Structure 1
Amino acid sequence: MASSEKNLSSFSGSNVGDVSKKKFGIVVSEWNEEVTEALFQGAYGVLVKHGVNRDNIIRKNVPGSFELSLASQWLAQQEDIDAVISLGCVIQGETKHFDFICQAVANGITEVGLKYNKPVIFGVLTTNNKKQALERAGGKHGNKGDEAAITAIKMLGF
């Protein structure tokens, strides 16, 4: 279902276990910071709301979305990190750069989760314009950061 048809901040409360002692890494791209900071606030708020100790939420910033995969790997390889949430925003431009970055980031984040056998969540917006990004970072379509955090929580309860 497209996010234009579903609010990203609406999710089922089922399969949500006790995460009070779990440790989460959140990697945030600095590129499109207005959007990615809103994504972080959403993810952080959902984790805290579901009982995660604030000291167990580790934030790391990277320059852009392309760097999310490697930084996610650095966090995932730490045995005390239970799940990693990767947050970024890639907005379509005039060149094919968008396609290459989106594909590389999606593949990279997937590979990290498989390599370390732990949830590594793709919380990256890939939009046509800034307006669409803002609508999915706390705007009329909810917040992809909320969705990414609840996905991490649910995967830990799998």
Structure 2
Amino acid sequence: MASFLDGSTNPTAPRRFAIAVSRFNAPITEALLEGATRTFVDHGIPADAVDVARVPGAFELPLVCDKLAATGKYNAVVALGCVVRGDTPHFDYVCGECGRGLMDVGLKHQLPIIFGVLTTDTMQQALHRADASSLNSSDGAADGDTEKHTPKCNKGAEAALCALEMTALLPAIS
């Protein structure tokens, strides 16, 4: 019979988290930050066990996440940002390098670096993915909406849940 390793989101030991959040598209990223911080507190993480570092844009997230991870103070780092497609290839470069950079940081430090960066075609899609009203649900997951492809949810809350799960799962593997 297979043995299943489970990463419960319930705190089992004191944990510390860092959140690196982009200032670019601030109305969106502030809503993501609110979702993440509220989710941590709702799951038993004291507010003073979560540190927030602000960066100019999504492209700067990997460097700051690397510095946060290198301190050894955190069980996970959550990266939050929002990049909306424009008329030039800039979107593709920023999104690709941000994602690759964050993955590299996680592998380098063997630490969960959670990708909470919205990469959307429109500002409306970003607004739906950073919706504050969805924070009233227990898990921050999509609540359904009339816009078929962009359900209202808060990806910041989902990123915090991912960090909680990964910080419980990795010790179970060790």
User: Do both share a fold (TM > 0.5)?
Assistant: yes
- TM-score, scaled relative to structure 2: 0.80
Q: In 2, distance between residues paired with 1:24 and 1:143?
A: 18
Distance 1:77 1:19, change over 3 A: farther
Say yes or no: does 1:142 pair with 2:153: yes
Q: Report deviation, 1:19.
A: 5.5
Q: Report deviation, 1:20.
A: 5.9
Moved more, 53-62 or 138-147: 138-147
Distance 1:105 1:19, change over 3 A: farther
Residue of structure 2 equivalent to 1:70: 63
Q: Report deviation, 1:141.
A: 2.0
Residue of structure 2 equivalent to 1:108: 101
Mind listing any 5+ residue stretches in structure 1 that lack a counterpart? 1-13
Distance 1:19 1:64, change over 3 A: farther
Q: In 2, distance between residues paired with 1:18 and 1:97?
A: 40
Q: In 2, distance between residues paired with 1:102 and 1:64?
A: 11
Q: Report deviation, 1:93.
A: 0.3
Residue of structure 2 equivalent to 1:24: 17
Equivalent AA in structure 2 for residue 81 of structure 1? Y
Say yes or no: does 1:15 pair with 2:8: yes
Q: In 2, distance between residues paired with 1:147 and 1:76?
A: 20
- TM-score, scaled relative to structure 1: 0.88
Equivalent position to 2:166, from 142, 145, 155: 155
Q: Report deviation, 1:16.
A: 1.6
Q: Secondary structure at the match of 2:19?
A: strand
**Is residue 20–residue 53 contact of structure 1 (8 Å, CA) maintained in 2?**
no
Residues 26-50 of structure 1: per-residue CA shift (max 9 Å, x gap): 0000000000000000000000000
Say yes or no: does 1:50 pair with 2:61: no
**Is residue 19–residue 52 contact of structure 1 (8 Å, CA) maintained in 2?**
no
Residues 66-103 of structure 1: per-residue CA shift (max 9 Å, x gap): 00000101111111211000000000000000000000
Q: In 2, distance between residues paired with 1:146 and 1:60?
A: 17
Larger RCO, structure (CA 8 Å, separation 6 or more) = 1
Q: In 1, distance between residues paired with 2:83 and 2:101?
A: 15
Q: Which has the larger radius of gyration?
A: 2
Q: In 1, distance between residues paired with 2:10 and 2:154?
A: 22
Structure 1 segments of 4+ aligned residues over 6 angstroms from their partners:
none
Equivalent position to 1:38, from 4, 16, 31: 31
**Is residue 20–residue 51 contact of structure 1 (8 Å, CA) maintained in 2?**
no
More strand by share: 1
Say yes or no: does 1:131 pair with 2:124: yes
Moved more, 67-76 or 138-147: 138-147
